[in-house]
C-alpha cells in the first residue's frame, strides 16, 4: 500500500510530501509528477516517482494499486477543463480499487466561478463510489504575501473585496491537514471546511504590512471591473483576472470566512497568522 500524491512538486504538493516523510517510510510514498528532474530530490530520499499528466489518461496506467491512499491536488490549468483532468485521476484510482481518495477542493460557501470546477469534481467523486475525503481548502496566506512587491511599490493594498473578511491559512497548514487525513483513520466519506483561525479584512492586512515594513500602506478598495483592469494591465490573462475579481466579490459577501475550526483540529495546532506569513515573505 502506498500514499500517492499528485502534483507533488507543486506549491502545496511539496509541503505534503515533506509532511509525509516525517510520518511514514519514504518507500511508502509515491510522488506523481510531470517532470522527473524536479522530483530528483524525492527520489534520492527513497520516494517512489511516477511520471503522469492529467492531460494524458494513459500515463496513469499502473500508478495506483488496490488499498492506496490518494491525494488529488487540484490542477491549475484553468483553460484545459479541470474537471475532465481530475476525472482522469479519479477513473484510474477507482479502477485500481484505492482505499481512500482525498481531493483539495474549495469552501462549500464559495459561489465564485473558481468553485465551479471543484463542485464538478466533487460530484464525480461522489458518483464514483470511492471512499473519499473532501478537503475544502480556504484561501492561502501566500496568495497575498507572495505579491507584496506592488503593495510596497505603490503603498497600497488594492482589492475588490470591500470590507469583507476572510480566514486564510498557510500552504503548510493545508498540507498538514492532508497529511493527517492520509496517515490517520476514520476520515472516510468526510468533508472538511478548512480555513484559518483568525479572520481579517484588507484594511487590517494593510495595517499588518505597514507594521512589518515601517511603511505607510493603505487599503484601496476598487470595483471589480477596475480590479480586473489592474490585473490584466499587470500581465494576467483576462480569464484569470475575471476569476480573481470574482473571488474578491465572494470575499465581500463573506464566502471565504471559514469558522468550522476543522483545520486546526486536523493538524493539532493553531493555523499560521497572516502576520507570520508576511514576516516570512519579507525575509525571503
From residue 73, alpha-carbon distances to 52, 206, 255 in Å are: 13, 31, 22
What digits encode the pLDDT tens for the residues 235-246?
Answer: 999 999 999 999
Nearest in space to 22 (alpha carbons), one of 228, 223, 180, 227 = 180
In angstroms, the CA 263 to CA 88 distance is 28
What digits encode the pLDDT tens for the residues 32-78?
Answer: 999 999 999 999 999 999 999 999 999 999 999 999 999 999 987 76
- Orientation of helix 224-233 relative to helix 238-252, angle to 10°: 140
Label residue 144 by pLDDT band (50, 70, 90).
very high
Q: What number is the average pLDDT over the span 225-244?
A: 94
Label residue 80 by pLDDT band (50, 70, 90).
low
pLDDT at 179 over 70: yes
**pTM for this predicted structure:** 0.96
Q: Are β-strands 69-72 and 218-221 bridged in parallel, bridged antiparallel, or unpaired?
A: unpaired
Q: What number is the average pLDDT over the span 220-244?
A: 95
Torsion of CA 17, 21, 27, 31, to 10 degrees: 0
Q: What number is the average pLDDT over the span 188-201?
A: 98
Q: How many CA atoms lie within 13 A of 20 on its CB side?
A: 32
State the pLDDT at residue 40.
96
What digits encode the pLDDT tens for the residues 111-138?
Answer: 999 999 999 999 999 999 999 999 999 9
Q: What is the layout of strands, in order, in the sheet containing 69-72?
A: 48-51, 29-33, 3-5, 69-72, 100-105, 132-137, 190-194
pLDDT at 92 over 80: yes
> Under CATH, domain 3-138+171-194+259-271 is a member of which superfamily?
NAD(P)-binding Rossmann-like Domain (3.40.50.720)
State the pLDDT at residue 143.
95
Amino acid at each position: 500500500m502506498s500514499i500517492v500524491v499528485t502534483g507533488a512538486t507543486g506549491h502545496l504538493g511539496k509541503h505534503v510530501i515533506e509532511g509525509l516523510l516525517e510520518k511514514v517510510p519514504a518507500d511508502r510514498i509515491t510522488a506523481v509528477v510531470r517532470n522527473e528532474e524536479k522530483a530528483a530530490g524525492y527520489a534520492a530520499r527513497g520516494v517512489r516517482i511516477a511520471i503522469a499528466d492529467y492531460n494524458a489518461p494513459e500515463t496513469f496506467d499502473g500508478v495506483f494499486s488496490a488499498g492506496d491512499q490518494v491525494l488529488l491536488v487540484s490542477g491549475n490549468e484553468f483553460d484545459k477543463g479541470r474537471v475532465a483532468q481530475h476525472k482522469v485521476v479519479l477513473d484510474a484510482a477507482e479502477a485500481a480499487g484505492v482505499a481512500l481518495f482525498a481531493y483539495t477542493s474549495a469552501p462549500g460557501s464559495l459561489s465564485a466561478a473558481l468553485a465551479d470546477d471543484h463542485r464538478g469534481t466533487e460530484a464525480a467523486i461522489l458518483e464514483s463510489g470511492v471512499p473519499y475525503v473532501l478537503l475544502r481548502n480556504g484561501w492561502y496566506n501566500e496568495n497575498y504575501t507572495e505579491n507584496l512587491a506592488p503593495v510596497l511599490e505603490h503603498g497600497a493594498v488594492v482589492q475588490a473585496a470591500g470590507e469583507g473578511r476572510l480566514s486564510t491559512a498557510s500552504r503548510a497548514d493545508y498540507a498538514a491537514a492532508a497529511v493527517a487525513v492520509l496517515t490517520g483513520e476514520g476520515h472516510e466519506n468526510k468533508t472538511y471546511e478548512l480555513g484559518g483561525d483568525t479572520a481579517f479584512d484588507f484594511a487590517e492586512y494593510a495595517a499588518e504590512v505597514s507594521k512589518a515594513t515601517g511603511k505607510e500602506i493603505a487599503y484601496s478598495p476598487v470595483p471589480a471591473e477596475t480590479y480586473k483592469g489592474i490585473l490584466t494591465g499587470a500581465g494576467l490573462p483576462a480569464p484569470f483576472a475575471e476569476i480573481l475579481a470574482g473571488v474578491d466579490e465572494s470575499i465581500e459577501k463573506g464566502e471565504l470566512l471559514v469558522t468550522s475550526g476543522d483545520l486546526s483540529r486536523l493538524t493539532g495546532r493553531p493555523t499560521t497568522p497572516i502576520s507570520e506569513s508576511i514576516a516570512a515573505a519579507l525575509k525571503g
